[in-house]
Structure 1
Amino acid sequence: MRVVLRSDRAGLGKRGDIVEVADGFARNFLLPKGQAIVASDGIVNQAQAMRNSRDARETRLRGSASELAVVLEALAIRIEARAQEGRLFGSVAQHDIVEAISAAGGPTIERRRVEMEEHIKTTGSHDVKVRLHSEVMATVHVEVVGVE
């Protein structure tokens, strides 16, 4: 059965996609839960318009994220933290990096966008990745300076 998805569905497609699914899966699961509608000619045209607008929005968001990545990579981020012999008392976490970016005149970003395997616990230069879009990643150079 051909259906048009009304919401993103992992392993099946995104909202507005026309997919072929088993009749039972469509009748017993997708249609009753409102996650899909049967694909008629009018619905297919609406789905095409929905996909076109989604693609245009994604292109616009990807472009603005790329511009933001250039700005972030040009920033010089410096964080001062209490340290002794190159080791910090505590650590530098995502929220510290977000605050340092804002203080350096950069854009405000969400804490969850900063990707770190673990918190920074040593002084020196560190590279931190910031995911601005599903396809755009910026690398921010952070200099952690120890103060006593």
Structure 2
Amino acid sequence: MEVILKESIESLGNAGDIVKVKPGYARNYLIPKGKAILADKKNVKALERQRNKILEIAAKQKEEFEALRIKLEELTIEIPVRVGEEDKLYGSVTNLDIAKAIEEKGYEVDRKKIILDEPIKSLGTHDVKVKISPEVVATIKVNVVPVQ
């Protein structure tokens, strides 16, 4: 089944692309969520007329994402945690903890967009990647400190 993407999706393509997907994925996810429309003759002709508008919107979004990336990279997030003997953490710092700390600084980031290979289990400064969009990834500093 062919669909026209209304927004960029990492695993499929960019906004305005015509892609081939499985019918169930299109009917149950892409079309109901407003991420794509069916690629019939009428919609393809409309796409050709609206391609410039779609590209302008995508460029504007990318500029906004770049501005957010710059602001996030200036941040240093401090997360206080309980520690035991020899500075061993009780538990670990997860993407949920980092998302809450970022939210306290005034920025809203989905915790699923925070990329951690594994939870942070040591004190110190760690670089954490935040995927703002498929093309834009910010690296923020997370400082894990003991609770005073």
When normalised by structure 2's length, the TM-score is 0.72
CA contact (8 A) 2:10 2:134 kept: no
* Residue 43 to residue 123, structure 1, CA distance change in 2 (3 Å): closer
Q: Distance in 2 between matches of 1:127 and 1:16?
A: 34
Structure-2 change in CA distance of 1:86 and 1:35 (3 Å): same
Change in 2 beyond 3 A, CA 1:35/1:11: farther
1:69-122 CA-partner distances (Å, limit 9, x unpaired)? 11111112100001132321001111110111122x231111111111111011
Give the length in aligned residue pairs. 130
Give the secondary structure class of the aligned counterpart of 2:59: helix
Structure 1 stretches of 4+ with a deviation exceeding 3 A read 5-19, 42-45
Native 8 Å contact 1:65 1:132 kept in 2: yes
Is 1:102–2:103 an aligned residue pair? yes
CA shift in 2, pair 1:86/1:49, >3 Å: farther
How far did residue 52 of structure 1 move?
2.1
Residue 64 of structure 2 corresponds to 64
Identify if the C-alpha distance between structure 1 residues 115 and 16 changes in structure 2 by more than 3 Å, giving closer, same or farther. closer
1:36 aligns with 2:39: yes
Offset at 1:18?
6.1
Give 1 or 2 for the bigger CA radius of gyration: 1
Unmatched tracts of structure 2, length 5 or more: 28-36
* Structure 1 residues 45 and 129: CA distance shift in structure 2, 3 A: same
RMSD: 3.2
Structure that is richer in strand per residue: 1
Structure 1 residues 129 and 18: CA distance shift in structure 2, 3 A: closer
Q: Within 2, Cα distance between the matches of 1:13 and 1:65? A: 18
Q: Which moved more, 1:44-53 or 1:10-19?
A: 10-19
Kept in 1: contact 2:126–2:141 (CA 8 A): yes
Q: Within 2, Cα distance between the matches of 1:133 and 1:82?
A: 33
1:134 — aligned with what? 134
Identity score, percent: 35
What code does the residue aligned with 1:139 have? T
1:44-55 to 2 correspondences below 5 Å? 45-55=45-55
Report the residue type matching 1:127 in the other structure: D
